[in-house]
Structure 1
Amino acid sequence: MKAGRGRLVLRQRDLGFGLIDRSLVNSEIIAGFECGLVHGGRHDLLQTTRHMPSGRMRDHLRIARNHGVFTARDGLVPGHDAVERLRIAQDEGVQTIWDLSHYHRIDDPGAYVRAIVRQAQAVCGAERLWLCPVNEPSLYPMLAGMSREHAVNMAVVMAEEARHLHPSVGILVNDPITGVGDRQFAATDAIVSRTFVDVIGVNYYPHTARTSLSKVLLKTWRRYGKPIMVSETSWHDGHSVHHRRYPGLNKGSWLRHVQDEVKIANDRGVEVIGICWYPMVDCPPWHAPRSRNRWSHGLIRQDLSVDPALSAELMAMMPHAAAA
């Protein structure tokens, strides 16, 4: 059926909120694992969250899987062993969408993606390789010290090269889209106009939202006519703006709120393939990588215990709970 304004998408209804195409994602809720290089390049979030092959990566994936989450966003970013990361995700049975640059500067993006594709084929054969070439290109001037145009060019080069080399590549592009003005879509427009994109990602948080998520999803659908992912959202227990804007909510009720907004968009013909809770693991403040404190925005705590409100919500969504 041709994509376009007001298209009715016929999909399998699953768990009550989405119309899900199982050829794209394996679970409606997606576990997002921080893989960014932040605080002027001095804070590697993969290291400080211990989401490493030699650390707790397997533990994190197993906890997510035990909550019915079988798809993840993770990173094959510079400075980390891509082969080991690919192998662990495959061993744990978690479908993964891999960020290649999450505020990282890559001097030769073509060479970098060629190496990643070779490594992915060595570990995973010809199975579909999902990539997010550049996370949030509109924020690169502030967080990575390069222009938005540079970040867009990097994304296009890596997407094109990956499609040329791999028999089955899926491309996610994502950016903060928190309103419906044209400026919100500038970076995504620039990428979509130059290369084929499979899924449009919308990053939407309580403290930056300018309008309702359902309106954002509808505007994004009408603009691109492509499947959409809520590619980042979460609730931060310690964020005063979250509590001021949405009094009385917690992580579990924020997830329900997002699901309700997705359902509204679904009912108007928008194809939303999943919601990524980002991040899944509490992390130190970006500006304080050595801090013993953690931002409380994930399911998984520093000691591998879980947030009770979000855990309960995810467990209630699992098929055995629905059947009961």
Structure 2
Amino acid sequence: MHRPTLFDSFFLGGFECSTHRRADGRRLDMLAATGHDRWAAQDLTSLRLHGIRGVRDGFRWHLIERVPGQYDWSSVLPQVQAAAERETQVIWDLCHYGWPDDIDIWRPEFVERFARFAAAAARLVADHSDAVPFYAPINEISFWSWAGGDMAMMNPMGRGRGLELKHQLVRASMAAIDAIREVDRRARFVQVDPVIHVRATSVRPGPQREAENCRQAQFDGWDLLSGRLWPGMGGKPEYLDIIGVNYYSDNQWYLGGDTIPVGHPDYRPFSGILSEIHKRYGRPILVAETGAEGDLRGEWLGYVSEQVAMAQARGVPVEGICLYPVLDYPGWENDRHCPTGLYGFPDSEGIRPLHPGLADELHRQQARFAELAKTAKASLG
């Protein structure tokens, strides 16, 4: 049985920090929309009340580097300082779909500017904490390449350029890792992407191959970073440190069709997906995003936790589960209230309502994993 030791708490909280432009040109800023940029200190204090001492949080590059080469840290300092003061471990997202407007993401300049920005961000983090830093350089390389490079759902609104965008994002991630390691050799890196399962409804070879090719595409970002795929790009095993898997209830579907529901005979258990990831890469795993809406929040956390425990029992090194988003947020496309969080929107004093169902399930699962850790420790003598 695997005994996790990487993070300060097994359950983490993730603050939605997307900053992309939608197809209509509007830029989103989820840290502002949820109020976390204003109430970071209160938010971290509230999470610690529920045993959460590690989080995912984000730098908003487009606010920090409005002028090339000039960094204004005022938008992120409250988060950095709050984490240091509350001794909260942070995985810092450096590019969560957004970048400064003056940069052409398709040009080499994007990679170069991002590397310099990443190094500057690492120096800021080092100035405020002696703890080992964690970074997620580019969020969801494979998903972003599809959504922004093939489907024009978000910036850079490309069509038929997904592979090109994927290569550019991989280059940027590798350059950022190199730059950060020049600042702090201790730095750890989480490479985050969704894990999926796709099935064909037809038994014919063509649809079966197409479904499997779609499923295999989930590995492209990690394969490119590690040099398993297209090693001429410069990928190396050391670029793949910690694998962050994002998993929701709609991450399994029929090719060109509906979502496969949990419990259906065609639904692949999450524990099997985790085992495949471990067998393929042999790296520590973080469930970097998972959650559900409304009253399904607790039930979904129960399912994911059960599956993670099963995977750990087989020796899969799952190091943590991140509740994401840990705060309710407005929907990307329509601003609707998305009730996903442990906490809701803040009032004028920064006080947020707690979702008791998710809190209760979180406490049950914390007790479960604490007992499992105790058992694993005892078995080691």
Q: Is contact 2:195-2:251 (8 Å) kept?
A: no
User: Which letter does structure 2 place at the counterpart of 1:205?
Assistant: Y
Match of 1:139 among 127, 139, 143: 143
Q: Distance in 1 between matches of 2:365 and 2:281?
A: 30
Q: Distance in 2 between matches of 1:110 and 1:207?
A: 34
Task: Report the AA paired with residue 121 of structure 1.
Answer: A
1:60 to 27, 43, 48: 43
Match of 1:182 in 2: 216
> Aligned match of 1:262 in 285, 305, 308?
308
Kindly name which structure, 1 or 2, has the bigger radius of gyration based on alpha carbons.
2
- Report the aligned-residue RMSD: 2.2
Which digits, 9 at most, give the CA deviation of each residue in 1:176-223, with x for residues without a partner?
Answer: 111384221111111122242321111111012353211110110000
Aligned match of 1:160 in 174, 178, 181?
178
* Cα deviation code 1:99-142 (max 9, x no counterpart): 000001363111101211211121114x2110000110112232
Q: Is the 8 A contact 1:30 1:69 kept in 2?
A: yes
* Residue in structure 1 matched with residue 278 of structure 2 by the alignment: 221
- Any conservation in 2 of the 1:200–1:227 contact (CA below 8 Å)? yes
Note the 1:241-320 alignment, pairs <5 A. Answer: 250-288=296-334, 291=335, 293-303=336-346, 304-318=352-366
CA contact (8 A) 2:41 2:78 kept: no
Flag the structure with higher helix content: 2
Structure 1, 128-137 or 30-39: larger mean CA deviation: 30-39
CA distance in 2, matches of 1:77, 1:165: 20
Q: Contact (CA 8 Å) 1:294, 1:302: kept in 2 or not? A: no
- 1:172 aligned onto 2:206: no
- CA distance in 2: counterparts of 1:59 and 1:188, whole angstroms: 35
Question: Secondary structure of 1:100's match?
Answer: strand
CA offset at residue 37 of structure 1?
1.2
Cα contact 1:103–1:135 (8 A) shared by 2: yes
Quote the Cα distance in structure 2 between the aligned partners of 1:84 and 1:56: 9
User: Which residue of 107, 115, 120 maps to 2:120?
Assistant: 115
Instruction: Say which structure, 1 or 2, has more relative contact order (CA 8 Å, 6+ apart).
Output: 1
Structure 2 unpaired stretches of 5+: 65-74, 101-109, 149-153, 159-164, 199-214, 228-234, 254-267, 347-351, 372-381
Identity across the alignment (%): 29
**Within the alignment, does 1:151 sit opposite 2:185 as a pair?**
no
CA distance in 2, matches of 1:302, 1:250: 19
- Which whole-Å CA distance do the structure 2 matches of 1:39 and 1:164 have between them? 31
Assess if the C-alpha contact under 8 Å between 1:138 and 1:187 holds in 2: yes
In structure 2, how many angstroms separate the alpha carbons of the residues matched to 1:270 and 1:144?
Answer: 35
**Residue type of the partner of 1:114?**
A
1:309 is paired with a residue of what secondary structure?
A: helix
Residue 47 of structure 1 is matched in structure 2 by: 32
Conservation of the 8 A alpha-carbon contact between 1:82 and 1:116: no
Task: Identify unmatched segments of 5+ residues in structure 1.
Answer: 1-8, 12-18, 238-248
